[in-house]
Chains A and B, each alone.
Chain A
Amino acid sequence: MKNAAHIFAKEFKGYFISPIAYIVISLFLILSGWFFFSTFFLFNQAELRSFFSLLPVMFSFVIPAVTMRLFSEEFNTGSFELLSTMPVSSAEIIIGKFLAAFSFVVLMLIPTLSYGIFISFMGDLDIGPWIGGYAGAMLLGAAFSAIGLFASSLTRNQIIAFIVGMTICIVTTLVDKMLFFLPEAALGVFQFLGADFHFQNISRGILDSRDVLYFLSVCFVMLYLTHLVIQEKS
């Protein structure tokens, strides 16, 4: 697994060689800042709920943009042949790349901590939901990174990887909001599949093992599917 660390280091550095990282981070901060502050003063409440409630949708667009190049670019330039004929296992490659994307997402979230600090000057910030929100955001970020990585392993075209990843993320985010036409018996199942449902649970400050388990299983399933896709290529 030591090689996963080398792959991670290369991919993480790789984000900052091209301007894409800076563009994605700026875009995320501008949008999240705007959505947050445009409604913040209306409610006159010292809380971050509007920021966290929008996060799953924002992540659905931003994270696939972060992950789209991870495999697609390697397939397109052919460097995947070079990488996978070196003494590394595909699990090491996948884990290294996944951790690079996840770390990038965490890095992207760090500046938003300032929203909380800002709010704490204006009123009493409820620390529970604040910590819960960030814990949820990291779990959500990990799950979406795994989804994006899987999408990237499917194609050599980065745009397609982005669209596929975004579609899967959006569907998992919104699946529990589109249930009004389903019979009541199926409601629970679909609600449980929805990423937003679990994320909102955690961001209320309630750390339930079911919600944590949900995100971890999404990560595991997606990374395993990526592994299968990579195996299938040879």
Chain B
Amino acid sequence: MIRIDGLTKHYGSVRAVDGISFKIARGEIIGLLGPNGAGKTTTLRILTCFLQPTSGNISVKNLSIHEHPLEIRKMIGYLPESAPLYPEMLVYDFLAFVADVRRLSGKRKESRIGEVAGLCGVSEVMHKPVQELSKGYKQRVGLAQAMMDEPEILVLDEPTSGLDPNQIVEIRDIIKEIGREKTVILSTHILSEVEATCDRVIIINRGRIVADGATEELKEGTGREYTVSVSLKNTEFFEVKNAFDGLPGVTETTLNSFENGILDFSLSISNEGDLRPDIYRIIRERNWLLLEFRRHTRALETIFRELTREGQR
């Protein structure tokens, strides 16, 4: 459905996007994941024909962004980052304007405005000016306008940034609801967001794709590498480190926190088998008080952490 070929975008001497290529099938929910400044927004802006790429091409249903920008825009509903709307317009007027520009008229216009408002939960603020809305409501109005013309593709740039946890859950539910029928591409720098909503993750760093695969697959990883996090009472980190560094398969013992006598640490493990019985045996032998014990098979997080660290350097 969407084909991205060798996409490159330079801003002066900065390469924001550096030869990205991938394909998106109909009905997928794709998460573009990456640290800030990785090139997610730029990629989405090129896809929505807001920016021209320096080189490369995107085609949507075999229409190229270079030749058919208006047709592509018609197929795409777009929510830009932080939902920039017209602050002084009433929500209803704004949605009506979007409907007009997207060539909806008469009964269909009225019914679509009602439908998207209902779906995104903005029916009760229709007669308020946009600038008086909370961040969460603005985001919902942004989603509502993106869905106005029942687009086949929905592009959402950081749809949950700046929202409180309840609002995040609500917006994610809406996105999942939409994703049943539409192709959705969303960008985020929050890992859990991808895990919660997307079928497929593409991790971008410094304008390049570093990982691409089904969320489940990336989450499980190869099964060889995983982390066990443990919380203990009545012990010290050096004792723990001494005890576990000897265990074959443990590659690293890292301290997460030590507060109020509760020691929180993780063991990075690289082993075919499950080391948890061995770890538990050690804890019992030393008579440490076990508060929490959990295994994460999260290759995704490992990849992402490495990336973010690199990005900061």
Contact = CB atoms under 8 A, between A and B. Distances in A.
B48 interface: yes
Contacts of B88: 14, 17-18
Interface in A53-86: 77-79, 81-82, 84-86
A191 interface: no
Contact of A77 (B84, B97, B98, B145): B84
Interface residues of A, number: 22
B171 to A, nearest CB: 18
A177 interface: no
A6 B101 contact: yes
A209 interface: no
A7 B53 CA distance: 27
A9 B93 CA distance: 11
Given A79-B85, A81-B84, A3 B76 contact: no
B305 interface: no
A84 B46 CA distance: 12
Nearest to B98: A86
A17 B89 contact: yes
B70 interface: yes
30 contacts: A2-B103, A7-B101, A10-B97, A14-B86, A14-B88, A14-B89, A18-B88, A77-B84, A77-B85, A77-B86, A77-B87, A78-B81, A78-B82, A78-B84, A79-B84, A81-B50, A81-B84, A82-B78, A82-B80, A82-B85, A84-B50, A85-B50, A85-B73, A85-B76, A85-B78, A86-B98, A87-B70, A87-B102, A88-B101, A234-B51
A-B residue pairs, 9 tightest by C-beta: A78-B84, A6-B100, A85-B48, A87-B74, A87-B73, A81-B80, A79-B84, A85-B78, A17-B88
Given A3-B101, A6-B97, A87-B103, 7 more contacts: A17-B88, A78-B84, A81-B45, A81-B50, A86-B98, A86-B101, A88-B70
Interface of B: 45, 48-52, 70-71, 73-74, 76, 78, 80-82, 84-89, 93, 97-98, 100-103, 145
